[in-house]
């Protein structure tokens, strides 16, 4: 019933918008944001302003009043869940090598801040547990399972971290788990059905078919495509299948405006201030 009401409201906003011309005024966009509560999601933390996937970037997301931050999870050689984007440590730390070939003790010695700016020297690669403990209740957390085929069993480990903290039950604490690996997300959904799941979709000229949407809807709550694929028609189709959409990655104000007008439910951005229409 709740889902139906929200779809109806979205359809009404969209129809009103459709008949009002092709561009929305700033006031109309504020109204749309308020009605739909478009989520402002800081990508890898507020990674335009602080080194991605570090506590500094997550602190910045909280400070900038983002609704959620996104992070990337992988696994160390000794099975610890660590927060880092690339499958190697080369780009974002002073070390070298594959994340999966380094122990947690080795990973935690690395400097994950200096590459971005000397002012962040000494930032560490956090564990998923540290991030959940530090930010739960303060801001929503969008967990991306990065390259799960490299880490057999990572879905169960993430589920365990959430269960251990009682974060697997629907509550005020917003947690979503997403991945480009859709098999992994179907698996996660079956392990922990109470935690919403998202499928990430990279750009394809073929778009996303109804067959794909129907398959996604059997286990996912969100379809999160590259912003380059988004049209208001795609957003409507995702909604028609009962799911929401949080496209990525916004790095300019025009893209944020475009996505808002297309009727998305959240915007994943390196710059949370670009998604602030107040
Ligand atoms: O949350 C979406 C986005 O993070 C997916 O791309 O490469 O930044 O992890 P990537
Ligand atoms: Ca990511």
**One digit per residue, pLDDT tens: the chain, 278 residues?**
333 333 443 344 343 333 333 344 555 554 554 456 899 999 999 999 999 999 999 999 999 999 999 999 999 999 999 999 999 999 999 999 999 999 999 999 999 999 999 999 999 999 999 999 999 999 999 999 999 999 999 999 999 999 999 999 877 679 999 999 999 999 999 999 999 999 999 999 999 999 999 999 999 999 999 999 999 999 999 999 999 999 999 999 999 999 999 999 999 999 999 986 55
Let me know if residue 28 belongs to a domain. no
Let me know if residue 204 belongs to a domain. yes
Let me know if residue 215 belongs to a domain. yes
200 CB near ligand 1 (under 6 Å): yes
- The domain total for the chain is 1
Let me know if residue 33 belongs to a domain. no
Let me know if residue 111 belongs to a domain. yes
Q: What CATH number does residue 242 fall under?
A: 3.20.20.190
69 CB near ligand 1 (under 6 Å): no
Let me know if residue 190 belongs to a domain. yes
Let me know if residue 127 belongs to a domain. yes
Let me know if residue 149 belongs to a domain. yes
| Residue-number span of the structural domain to which 86 is assigned | 7-18+44-273
Interval between CA 248 and ligand 1 midpoint (Å): 7
DSSP 66-116: -SEEEEEEEE-TTS-EEE-SSSBSTTTSS--SBGGGS-HHHHHTS-SSTTT
246 CB near ligand 1 (under 6 Å): no
From the CA of 178, give the closest atom in ligand 1. 1
Confirm if 26 and 57 have CB atoms less than 8 A apart.
no
182 is catalytic: no
């Amino acid at each position: 019933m709740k889902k139906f009401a929200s779809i109806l409201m979205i359809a009404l906003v969209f129809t009103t918008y459709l008949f009002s011309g092709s561009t929305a005024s700033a006031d109309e966009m504020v109204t749309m944001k308020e009605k739909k509560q478009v989520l402002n999601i800081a990508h890898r933390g507020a990674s335009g302003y602080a080194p991605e996937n570090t506590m500094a970037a997550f602190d910045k997301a909280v400070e900038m009043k983002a609704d959620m931050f996104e992070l990337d999870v992988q696994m160390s050689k000794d099975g610890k869940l660590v927060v880092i984007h690339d499958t190697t440590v080369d780009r974002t730390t002073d070390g070298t090598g594959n994340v999966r070939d380094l122990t947690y003790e080795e990973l935690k010695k690395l400097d994950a801040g200096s590459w971005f700016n000397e002012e962040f020297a000494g930032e560490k690669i956090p564990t998923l547990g540290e991030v959940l403990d530090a930010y739960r209740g303060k801001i929503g957390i969008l967990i991306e399972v990065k390259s799960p085929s490299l880490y057999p069993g990572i879905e169960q480990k993430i589920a365990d971290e959430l269960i251990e903290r009682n974060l697997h039950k629907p509550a005020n604490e917003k947690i979503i788990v997403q991945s480009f690996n859709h098999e992994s997300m179907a698996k996660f959904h079956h392990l922990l059905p109470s935690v919403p799941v998202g499928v990430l979709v990279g750009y394809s000229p073929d778009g996303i078919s109804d067959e794909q949407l129907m398959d996604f809807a059997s286990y996912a709550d969100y379809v999160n495509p590259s912003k380059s694929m988004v049209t208001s028609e795609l957003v409507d189709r995702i909604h028609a299948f009962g799911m929401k959409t949080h496209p990525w990655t916004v790095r300019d104000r025009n893209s944020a405006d475009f996505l808002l007008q297309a009727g998305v439910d959240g915007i994943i951005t390196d710059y949370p201030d670009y998604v602030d229409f107040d």
